[in-house]
Amino acid sequence: MRAGSSLLVSGLILVAAQLSPGQGTTMSLPKTVEAGAAFSIQNPGSGKATLYIIGTGQVLKRDVQLGETTFFPAGSLYNAGRYLAVLTQDSSTQNGSFDVVPASKPADMSFFAKPSRLPVGLHDGITGTVYVFDTYHNLISAPTPVSFELSTPSGTVQKRTLVTSEGAAWTAMDSTAQQGIDRFAARIGDVSSTRIVGQVPGDPCTLKMNARQSGQQVELITDPVRDCSGNAIPDGTIVTFTQSYKGSQSTIDQPLKRGIAQVTMQVHPGATLSVASGVVMGNQIGWAK
Amino acid sequence: MNSGRLLAAFLFTATVALVVIGTLWPAPSAAAYAGAQSMLASSSTAEGAVRNLADEIRAQQWDKAYSHLANKAQFTEPEFAHDLTGYYPSLLTYSTLDKFEVHPLHASDTEADMQLTMHWATVVGSSVSTRQLHVVKNGNTWEAEWPVVKEPTVPPQVIPVNYLRWDVIYRGPGDDWGAQDVEAPHVRIVDMRPVERADGVVILGELLNEDVVPAYVSVGATLISKNQTTIATEGSFDKIAHLLLPKQVTPFFIKFPNVALSDVGSIRMSPQSSLIAASADPVIEIGDQQLHPAPDASLTGQLINQSGQIVNVAHVLGTFYDKSGKIVWVADQYVDHALSPQNPVPFQIHIPEDLAKNIATQRTVVSTYSSGGSL
């Protein structure tokens, strides 16, 4: 059944394509139809005929009385694109084309915010891209104003207002010095969408440890580890403690817990103790006891 | 058509003949594997006694092996078996003795010392262990004394653990197009160097997880020739610590066999990362790390499990640098014993002899696997 319909449509397109330019069409077609809007087609002549409207993903068929106007109610055609109208009566065929354009009023948007997590203090580190759609999810290619708003944990708000080009608009914002959750919103008229962006601490800035005797062993404990903006480095971040002694080395990768890293190890008198996290080196302690 | 039938008939006849021959006169090794007598029928020599013992170990005939020991009064049969297969599940638990070598060290009429080198076939490759056995003559036969190593067992207890754990919720199938997903961890190659070896080119490097979440990582590399054609693409496979906690660094090693560095115009590196549910536990101390020069250049040390969880398999990766801090080599070793809490387990990573003289410093990391599925 579906194959039969496809064959019919293909045949109609072929017939219409074979018409010479001189034959023309006398159907009265609208130049453009807004997606989802009602429209009408005036069919000249007399008698009964069949009108086909063929477009991307949509085909309409109406039995029409020539000489009268055929009305199509709202919602008949909703996919934007070029449509072919073919009017067939017996062996004669008339055809014409018209465009279904997106509705002018935005009804939906796709908002891409990248990344969802980034270090603090990055210039243009957060990007947002918006695609604007009408009720029927047609991309609105007409210029449309879009406002972006990034609310940061420090309370500051960054705003941009742009106009879409070919249905899209994008902007870049800075991450601020304070860690926390950003709310990144895009608004077009009364349509809005919000994304969450996490601002996380950067690399440790000052990594300092202290050592103290604890029974037979030595307890190594860092000061609270912070980045250069003063944000606490998240728990779970690995801190490496190293003891170097006469060509021998002992290391422990210890995750931060409650902002500090703490280990207990057997330390040789004369050993050098050092601490690091990622590519950041901390202080060294010569253990003389 | 006739020649095909003739060939089929010949193959059938030959197969039957070989089966009959193998059944009537089995090879000693096959008989040993089938549970028959050992490859060496008697223990009339010290070396023969050790070989018999090794054969029984290979056949996993713990009762027979134990019954032939001279010092079985010092330990039980399960302790003997556990000494060879591990007290806790480990690489050895799922391995078999592939081959062995016996080297006499000292011998007299009544006693001898033998070195037994055992090559275990494990799921991650060969694992070699060596034991020195004292062998004594008892009447007309020789019996080996097994140098049992009683692994300290952990007394039953409850160890509270409050390390972090990360779980991940990804976007669901019902989310709209354009909806946000959780960001993959940001990782960065902080060092990379191609090295030419006799059997090809290797890419050495280090990868840093610069994010605040755990990452499952791997590294791929593509060699591009000078005329911009692809020579080969390889991955780090297991020569990397796949789980990186925040700010953790792993070395990686990618091998391109049968490629000359002079043919390589450029290298395209592909670090990959994805979010993974992970725990900051267990914490492993890598103690007493020492570089040993050639001959037999190696890095030795010991792993000490500072957590309460039994670690079934530990993978040690060493990164070796020259005096200027340039990466020289990456090597690894799987530890075949489980790590129980606070019990040191030694490791030894071998270093190519020709590179050992260039090595000034090293950095060692360990990745662990525990049964139960958690990384």
pLDDT in tens, chain B (375 residues): 556 777 788 888 888 778 777 666 665 555 555 544 445 445 789 999 999 999 999 999 999 999 999 998 999 999 999 999 888 889 988 899 999 999 999 989 899 999 999 999 998 888 999 999 999 998 888 999 999 988 777 778 887 777 788 988 877 776 666 666 788 999 999 999 999 999 999 999 999 999 999 999 999 999 999 999 999 999 999 999 999 999 999 999 999 999 999 999 999 999 999 999 999 889 999 999 999 998 889 999 999 998 888 999 999 999 999 999 999 999 999 998 899 988 999 999 999 999 999 999 999 999 999 886 444
User: Which of B209, B212, B298 to probe by mutation at the A interface, max A CB count within 10 Å?
Assistant: B212
A-chain CB neighbours of B178 within 8 Å are 110-112, 131
The full set of domains in chain A, from first to last, is 2-101 (2.60.40.10), 108-200 (2.60.40.1930), 204-287 (2.60.40.730)
pLDDT recorded at residue A45: 83
CB A208 within 8 A of CB A222: yes
pLDDT at residue A3 greater than cutoff 80: no
**Nearest neighbour of B164 by CB, restricted to A203, A236, A247:** A236
φ/ψ bin of A247: left (φ > 0), alpha (ψ from -120 to 50), beta (otherwise): left
> How is residue B59 written in tokens?
């056949």
pLDDT in the model for residue A15: 44
Looking at residue A144, the DSSP 8-state letter turns out to be -
Amino acid in the structure at residue B90: S
* Pairs of residues, one from chain A and one from chain B, whose beta carbons lie less than 8 Å apart: 100
Q: B245 to chain A: which residues are within 8 Å by CB?
A: 236-238, 253, 255
Tokens 């010392």 label which residue? B113
* Alpha carbon distance B208, B222 (integer Å): 20
Q: Which helix (H) or strand (E) holds B47?
A: helix B46-58
CB A242 within 8 A of CB B361: no
| Predicted pLDDT at B171 | 75
Cα of A36 to nearest chain B Cα, Å: 23
A154-168 pLDDT tens trace: 889 999 999 999 999
Looking at residue A5, its pLDDT comes to 47
Q: Kindly write down the DSSP assignment for every residue of B300-365, as one continuous string.
A: EEEEEE-SSSPBSEEEEEEEEE-TTS-EEEEEEEEE-S-B-BT--EEEEEE--HHHHTT--EEEEE
Q: Return residues 85-144 of B near A (CB < 8 Å).
A: none
Contacts of B287 in chain A (CB under 8 A): 250, 265-266
At A211, is the pLDDT very low, low, confident or very high (cuts 50, 70, 90)? Answer: very high
Q: B277 and chain A: CB distance < 8 Å anywhere?
A: no
Residues of A numbered 231-270 whose beta carbons fall under 8 angstroms of chain B's beta carbons: which are they? Answer: 234-239, 247-255, 257, 263, 265-266
In sequence order, the 6+-apart residues with CB closer than 8 A to the CB of B205 are B189, B190, B191, B192, B193, B219, B251, B252, B269, B327
Percent of chain A with pLDDT over 70: 91
* Residues of chain B found within 8 Å of residue A247, distances taken between Cβ atoms: 290-291
B199 touches chain A (CB under 8 A): no
**Dihedral Cα A79, A85, A90, A93, nearest 10 deg:** -150
Q: Is A216 touching B (CB cutoff 8 A)?
A: no
Query: Complex ipTM, two decimals?
Result: 0.74
pTM: 0.76
Cα separations in angstroms, B191 against A143, B106, B249, B349? 47, 50, 10, 21
pLDDT at B25: 63
Contact A238 B213 (CB under 8 A): no
Of B180, B283, B290, the CB nearest to A254: B283
What pLDDT score does A10 carry? 52
Which SS3 state, helix, strand or coil, does residue A3 take? helix
Cβ contacts of B184 on chain A, cutoff 8 Å: none
Closest partner residue to A278 (CB to CB) among B208, B286, B289 is: B208
Phi-psi region of A278 (alpha: psi -120 to 50; beta: other; left: phi over 0): left
Each residue of A257-277: pLDDT tens digit? 999 999 999 899 999 999 999
Contact A252 B249 (CB under 8 A): no
Cβ A110–B208 below 8 Å, yes or no? no
Question: Which of A196, A237, A248 faces B246 most closely, judged by CB atoms?
Answer: A237
| Contact status, residue A129 vs residue A168, Cβ threshold 8 Å | yes
Task: Give the model's confidence band at A24: pLDDT under 50 very low, under 70 low, under 90 confident, else very high.
Answer: very low
pLDDT tens for B249-307 read 999 999 999 999 999 999 999 999 999 999 988 999 999 999 999 888 999 999 999 88
Give Cα separations from B235 to B186, B239, B251 (angstroms). Answer: 19, 9, 13
pLDDT in tens, A109-146: 999 999 989 999 999 999 999 999 999 999 999 999 99
What's chain A's average pLDDT? 88
Provide DSSP, A241-260. Answer: EEEEETTEEEEEEEE-BTTB
In this prediction, residue B162 carries a pLDDT of 77
The shortest CB-CB distance from B285 to any of A200, A203, A252 is to A252
Within 8 A of B364 by CB-CB distance, chain A residues are: 249, 251
- Comparing alpha-carbon positions, the chain A residue that sits nearest to B300 is A248
Note the pLDDT of residue A16.
44
Nearest to B178 among A110, A247, A255 (CB): A110
Task: Name chain A contacts of B214, Cβ cutoff 8 Å.
Answer: 236
CA nearest to B273, candidates A115, A179, A196, A124: A115
How much is the pLDDT for B62? 93
Element (H, E) at B55: helix B46-58
The pLDDT value given to residue B2: 59
Which of A251, A260, A273, A280 is best to mutate for the B interface (most B CBs within 10 A)? A251
| Nearest-angstrom CA–CA distance, A214 and A262 | 12
When pLDDT is averaged across residues A211-239 and rounded to a whole number, the result is 93
Q: Where are the alpha helices (DSSP H) in chain A?
A: 2-18
CA distance readout (Å), A285 to A254, A282, B178, B340: 18, 10, 51, 31
- For chain A, what percent of residues have pLDDT higher than 90? 75
